[in-house]
């Protein structure tokens, strides 16, 4: 079995993000770029600076409601997600609820051939296995790349994931 590593990067400035990404990709197979830590107006600059490395990056623009830092409007967030997709990252991490509620975004990502990582978060608990299986099947309608994050409060919770 082979293993791949992915380091998460959450910098606040384009210059610092580029520097940290260069260091991370020397030691890790992939990097997750948390675009939600940046000022939204600096995202185009960052994309230009790191465009050659995006094939090894999972790109994330997580809203506050999903545990991220992005505080702008959902319309603005979706437009930034579309911009990130134009740069063809290795994976674009998008929340299940965002995809489920936004048919226009679904069509756009499909038309561009963007590879997505569909994520779902429950910060309060780990649901029963039947709920998790159902959620997994729903998420697979959008991508074969799935990420489920829950709050584990016991060993049993952790083992269900």
pTM greater than 0.75 (yes/no):
yes
Distance (Å, whole) CA 86 – CA 50: 13
Architecture in CATH for domain 6-160: Alpha-Beta Barrel (3.20)
Q: Do residues 77 and 36 lie in contact, with contact meaning Cβ atoms separated by under 8 Å?
A: no
By CB atoms closer than 10 A (0-12, 13-18, 19+), residue 91 is buried
Q: Where is pLDDT greater, at 34 or 2? A: 34
Asked about 4 being catalytic, the answer comes back as no
Q: Is 101 a catalytic residue?
A: no
Closest listed residue to residue 92, CA positions, set 110, 76, 72: 110
> Contact 143/119 with Cβ under 8 angstroms?
no
The residue annotated as part of the active site, out of 48, 133, 147, 153, is 147
Mean pLDDT, residues 34-47 taken together: 98
pLDDT in tens, 67-104: 999 999 999 999 999 999 999 999 999 999 999 999 99
Report the percent of the chain where pLDDT is more than 70: 99
Domain residue ranges of the chain, discontinuous segments joined by +: 6-160
What phi and psi values does residue 38 have, to the nearest 5 degrees? -90, 160
């Amino acid at each position: 079995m082979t293993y791949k590593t992915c380091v998460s990067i959450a910098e606040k400035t384009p210059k610092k993000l580029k520097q940290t990404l260069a260091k991370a990709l020397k030691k890790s197979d992939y990097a997750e770029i948390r675009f939600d830590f940046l000022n939204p107006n600096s995202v185009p600059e960052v994309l230009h600076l790191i465009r050659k490395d995006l094939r090894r990056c999972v790109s994330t623009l997580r809203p506050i409601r999903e545990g991220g830092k992005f505080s702008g409007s959902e319309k603005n967030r979706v437009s930034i997600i579309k911009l990130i997709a134009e740069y063809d990252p290795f994976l674009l991490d998008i929340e299940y609820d965002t995809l489920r509620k936004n048919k226009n975004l679904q069509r756009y990502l499909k038309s561009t051939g963007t590879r997505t990582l569909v994520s779902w978060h429950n910060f309060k608990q780990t649901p029963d296995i039947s709920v998790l299986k159902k959620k997994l099947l729903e998420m697979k309608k959008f991508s074969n790349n799935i990420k489920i994050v829950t709050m584990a409060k016991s060993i049993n919770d952790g083992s269900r994931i």
